[in-house]
Amino acid sequence: MSEDVARFFDAMADSYDQLEPWSEHLYAALHAILRTALRPPPGGRALDAGCGTGFQSALLDDLGYETHGVDISTGLLAVARRRLRAPRLACASVEVLPYADATFDAVSCCGSTLSFVERPECALLEFGRVLRPGGYLLLECEHKWSLDLGWALLSSLAGDVLGYRTSVGVLRRQLVRPLREGFWLDYPAEGAETMRLRLFTHAELSAMLRRAGCTPCRRWGLHSVTNVIPSTVLHRPRLPRALGALYRGLRALDGSVQHLPVAAAFANSVVILARRSGPA
């Protein structure tokens, strides 16, 4: 992961936990999945990869894991140390984890961490390496084939009226790639003009997981129904009353269909539970 990514998250460390409507729904749904998908064995150890301020680490602690966290941002790790009862944190890239083979019973990599990683295939190989056989990986990242990609294209055709800060030419070059292949796309971000995000397809994620010795077990799609509202509209402190009421209804519907294949196929964020098999 690059120094630019570390500086970006260092700068927003103090406000990172102030969730916008978009992130509030994402984390509420994601944490509900984590609580049910990653039940610990006796004496289980878990790694929160890209732990940030310790959102998922605290949940893993509450479930009964001995939880370790790793992140590239020293600013976010400072907040995590204040939040966690017994912080076991390391400043490192998820592409080169500072842990021995087969150390953990579970790895959680959420908050779109993988979408910021320059070499995501290396990160997944590392997750497979540190997982014990039979252990589980819970992965959440940005998805390519979402309605939000359509909003970005429409916005670029209309002079960027929705503030996606991308051009028709850039999107055209990406969309002519093979359907099963993801790509990098600049996205507007607080405190920066744009940040590069990797958008993944299910096919390439499955292939990378298999190379890491992990077999996908379940999939969820988050922000599928709610994507009828452009994400740039939802990345703000609060919504107007009428839009807020609409969004609450869409959130409820999004949560009720998140486990369906059609939701995973067109969601903005894809969540995958994978099980570690033999050696990577």
pTM for the full predicted model: 0.94
- Residue 44 lies inside a defined structural domain of this protein: yes
Whole-angstrom distance, CA of residue 50 vs CA of residue 31: 15
- Residue 192 lies inside a defined structural domain of this protein: no
What's 71's domain CATH number?
3.40.50.150
Specify the DSSP class assigned to residue 26. H
- Residue 238 lies inside a defined structural domain of this protein: yes
Domain of residue 121 covers 3-144+198-275
- Residue 221 lies inside a defined structural domain of this protein: yes
Give Cβ neighbours of residue 247 (< 8 Å, ≥ 6 apart): 21, 226, 229, 234, 239
- Residue 28 lies inside a defined structural domain of this protein: yes
Q: What is the pLDDT along the chain (280 residues), one digit of tens a residue?
A: 578 898 889 988 888 888 999 999 999 999 999 999 999 999 999 999 999 999 999 999 999 999 999 999 999 999 999 999 999 999 999 999 999 999 999 999 999 999 999 999 999 999 999 999 999 999 999 999 999 999 999 999 999 999 999 999 999 999 999 999 999 999 887 655 678 999 999 999 999 999 999 999 999 999 999 999 999 999 988 999 999 999 999 999 999 999 999 999 999 999 999 999 975 4
- Residue 149 lies inside a defined structural domain of this protein: no
- Residue 176 lies inside a defined structural domain of this protein: no
- Residue 110 lies inside a defined structural domain of this protein: yes
Contact 135, 105 (CB under 8 A): yes
| Count of the separate structural domains present in the chain | 1
